[in-house]
């Protein structure tokens, strides 16, 4: 028998259903009749909010590598309160604050999720902050602490340090006792290079980025480069890696996928590490949830500041659609189902 906490009435339960792909897609509110119930190993969540991720944006346009048959309920990340639990569930209880990640159908007031995909949310972390920070903050945590095995005293160079992932990387690296160096875009085609806490900064044009980084880092270079940018920025950073340095490939915000001369890797004894939380979720689900929980605990401890967000009523999806393209860089759109 399920253990249940009172919450939203069954008659009010609904989901956002994608009926046709498009730009914008045809997405309508649809009542959940009957509302879902948890299986033996599942937890039923009263969803308070759900992230509108870049993956979701591509998916509902039909531009993602997977194209579910319409109609379907989009959404991968949800946060809410446990409503009821299956007979085999022991870790969670009705009333617990939780997030689920990678569970399809998150754009709904109710979500039945496998218990191994759920993570508790610290009491002092808002649900919208938790779900809105998963992509950026977990990427930073997974990249620096799992893939790169960051150690205190190492030098971390963060490209795109003013973006959501970049900001989270700076905070985690600082917390881990690293020396932090940053690159952010200035006016026009100039870039501001800085040593956090070292009082050292300079502005350089794109064509002089390699030389500017050499002046900033010296001959020793950076032990770790966090690269969510790609394009020609990557080679300039790799040329300034230290011996046994690690390049974290996070994304390609600048557009083109870089081609790195492999002789640079040989001469520096360095490595390239892919940072893909979606792959971690599919290949190492337990590690994914463990790292997500650890990341949220850092947020609860005040180490990580939540990503900026725009909270939009789920009933007004077109407003969320418009804000997705116009919100400031690094701002997450979160659908409010509460």
Domains of the chain (ranges, CATH numbers): 3-133+306-336 (3.90.180.10), 136-278 (3.40.50.720)
Peptide bond into 216 cis (omega under 30): no
- What is residue 265's predicted lDDT score, i.e. its pLDDT? 94
Who contacts 226 (Cβ-Cβ below 8 Å, separation ≥6)? 140, 143, 144, 156, 157, 158, 159, 165, 166, 169, 248, 250
- What is residue 3's predicted lDDT score, i.e. its pLDDT? 45
DSSP labels, 36-101: P---TTEEEEEEEEEEE-HHHHHHHHT-SS--PPSSB---SEEEEEEEEE-TT--S--TT-EEEEE
- What is residue 187's predicted lDDT score, i.e. its pLDDT? 82
Judged on CB neighbours under 10 Å (0-12, 13-18, 19+), 232 is: middle
Please identify every stretch of the chain with a pLDDT value under 70, giving residue numbers as ranges: 1-9, 11
pLDDT digits (tens, 9 = 90+) for 203-247: 999 889 999 999 999 999 999 999 999 998 999 999 999 999 999
């Amino acid at each position: 028998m399920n253990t249940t906490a009172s919450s939203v009435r069954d008659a009010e339960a609904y989901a956002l259903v994608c009926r046709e792909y498009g730009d914008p897609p045809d997405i309508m509110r649809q009542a959940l009749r009957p509302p879902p119930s948890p299986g033996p190993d599942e937890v039923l969540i009263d969803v308070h909010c759900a992230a509108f991720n870049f993956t979701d944006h591509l998916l509902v346009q039909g531009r993602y590598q997977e194209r579910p048959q319409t109609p379907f309920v989009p959404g991968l990340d949800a946060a809410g309160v446990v409503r009821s639990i299956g007979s085999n569930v022991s870790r969670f209880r009705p009333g617990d604050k939780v997030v689920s990640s990678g569970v399809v159908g998150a754009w709904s007031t109710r979500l039945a999720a496998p218990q191994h995909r759920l993570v508790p949310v610290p009491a002092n972390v808002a649900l919208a902050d938790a779900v809105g920070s998963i992509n950026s903050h977990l990427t930073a945590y997974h990249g620096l602490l799992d893939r790169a095995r960051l150690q205190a005293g190492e030098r971390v160079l963060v490209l795109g340090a003013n973006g959501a992932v970049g900001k989270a990387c700076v905070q985690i690296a600082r917390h881990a006792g690293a020396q932090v160096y940053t690159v952010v875009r200035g006016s026009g085609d100039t870039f501001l290079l800085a040593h956090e806490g070292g009082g050292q900064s300079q502005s350089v044009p794109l064509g002089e980025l390699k030389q500017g980084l050499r002046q900033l880092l010296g001959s020793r270079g950076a032990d770790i480069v966090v690269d969510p940018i790609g394009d020609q920025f990557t080679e300039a950073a790799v040329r300034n890696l230290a011996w046994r340095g690690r390049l974290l490939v996070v994304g390609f915000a600048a557009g083109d996928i870089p081609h790195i001369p492999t002789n640079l890797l040989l001469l520096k004894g360095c490595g390239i590490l892919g940072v893909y939380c979606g792959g971690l979720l599919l290949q190492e689900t337990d590690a994914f949830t463990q790292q997500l929980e650890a990341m949220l605990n850092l947020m609860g401890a005040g180490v990580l500041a939540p990503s900026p967000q725009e909270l939009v009523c789920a009933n007004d999806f077109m407003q969320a659609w418009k804000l997705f393209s116009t919100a400031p860089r690094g701002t997450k759109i979160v659908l409010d189902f509460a």
